[in-house]
């Protein structure tokens, strides 16, 4: 059976990562993931690549089967997840083209299934939604990568109004995105280490004086930075620490998990 240690979940504009991958179709108790998994080797590590929106971007942010994606990756053995994503910047400390490794998350989504827990007392710790060790590895892997920031995740698929954008910025939040939740919490439930790698594609509607953000801008900016992002990911994979002993899996020790971690 095909196995992998590490996953890269590609976001908007990021649909392939590996040379000559093996394609693995996985069925899960939650349905099919966004696409078959592509599995290959990077820096001696087995890596599974999953395009979050599907290979042809069939799944909008609110239509992604986040549980199937997380379960499918774990079923191959994945314990470390790198999650690149396109984000808007909410304040002028960031600019399009910047890569930021957020350390906090605000979940403003409201119609997604955000947990595997369907019964029993299972309350996962989530004060720090991202794996500290993975975050550190990403920040150290390249020059000029911003360390920390709060990413608010909105339901989409529409972009925010100017008033919403200004409101989010006034809360002190830095980045905005449509897919970071519930992906991070589901990874924690799957006892995986998870880090988001945010590529700033636009300045949302608040800082802009023009007509606000549109999807062409997001896609174009992502395309311009894709090769740089792939290079960074390859360097990160080569430098990943051993997942053993990390609190991202240890939180569930002694807890009666009422769902299957494959
Ligand atoms: N993804 C990229 N840019 C975004 C924005 N401005 N708002 C929400 N999600 C985004």
Tens of pLDDT, residues 173-196: 999 999 999 999 999 999 999 999
Which residue owns the Cα nearest ligand 1 atom 8? 177
Query: Does the pLDDT of residue 206 top 90, yes or no?
Result: no
Tell me how far the alpha carbon of residue 151 lies from the centroid of ligand 1, in angstroms. 10
| Weakest-pLDDT range from 30-34, 138-142, 190-194, 202-206 | 202-206
28 contact partners, CB below 8 Å, separation of at least 6: 67, 68, 71, 72, 75
Helix (H, G, I), strand (E, B) or coil at 44: coil
What pLDDT digit, counting tens, does each position of 136-146 carry?
999 999 999 99
Angle at 4 between CA 63 and CA 104, to 5 degrees: 55
Q: In the structure, what pLDDT confidence band is assigned to residue 13 with cuts at 50, 70 and 90?
A: confident
pLDDT in tens, 48-86: 999 999 988 899 999 999 999 999 999 999 999 999 999
As for ligand 1, residues whose beta carbon falls within 6 Å of it are 86-88, 154, 159-160, 176-178, 201-202, 204, 213, 218
Q: Are 229 and 84 in contact (CB under 8 A)?
A: yes
pLDDT of residue 114: 95
- Ligand 1 atom at minimal distance to the Cα of residue 160: 7
Residues involved in catalysis? 202, 204
**pLDDT above 90 covers what percent of the chain?**
89
pLDDT at 113: 97
Tokens of 114: 């955000």
| Plot region of 96 (φ>0 → left; ψ -120 to 50 → alpha; else → beta) | beta
Q: Is the pLDDT of residue 131 over 90?
A: yes
Closest residue by Cα to atom 2, ligand 1, is 87
Return the pLDDT at 212.
Answer: 82
Structure tokens at 129: 């939604």
**In the predicted structure, residue 208 carries a pLDDT above the cut 90:** no
How much is the pLDDT for 209?
65
Residue-level pLDDT at 241: 95
> How many angstroms does the Cα of residue 159 sit away from the middle of ligand 1?
6
């Amino acid at each position: 059976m095909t196995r992998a240690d590490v996953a890269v979940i590609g976001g908007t504009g990021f649909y392939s990562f590996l040379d000559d991958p093996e394609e693995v179709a996985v069925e899960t108790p939650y349905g099919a993931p966004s696409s078959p998994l592509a599995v290959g080797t990077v820096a001696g590590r087995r890596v599974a690549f999953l395009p979050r929106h599907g290979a042809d971007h069939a799944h909008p942010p609110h239509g992604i089967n986040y549980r199937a994606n997380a379960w499918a990756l774990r079923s191959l053995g994945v314990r470390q997840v790198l999650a690149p994503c396109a984000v808007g910047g909410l304040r002028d400390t960031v600019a399009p083209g910047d890569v930021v490794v957020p350390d906090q998350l605000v979940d403003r989504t409201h119609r997604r299934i955000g947990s595997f827990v369907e019964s029993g007392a299972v309350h996962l710790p989530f004060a720090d939604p991202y794996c500290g060790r993975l975050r550190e590895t990403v920040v150290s892997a390249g020059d000029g990568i911003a360390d920390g920031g709060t990413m608010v995740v909105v339901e989409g698929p529409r972009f925010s109004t100017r008033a919403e954008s200004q409101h989010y910025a006034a809360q002190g939040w830095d980045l905005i995105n449509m897919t970071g939740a519930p992906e991070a919490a589901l990874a924690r439930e799957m006892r995986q280490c998870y880090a988001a790698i945010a590529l700033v594609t636009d300045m949302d509607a608040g800082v802009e004086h023009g007509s606000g953000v549109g999807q062409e801008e997001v896609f174009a900016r992502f395309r311009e930075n894709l090769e740089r992002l792939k290079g960074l990911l390859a360097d990160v994979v080569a430098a990943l620490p051993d997942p053993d002993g990390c609190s991202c899996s240890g939180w569930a020790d002694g807890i009666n998990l009422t769902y299957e971690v494959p």
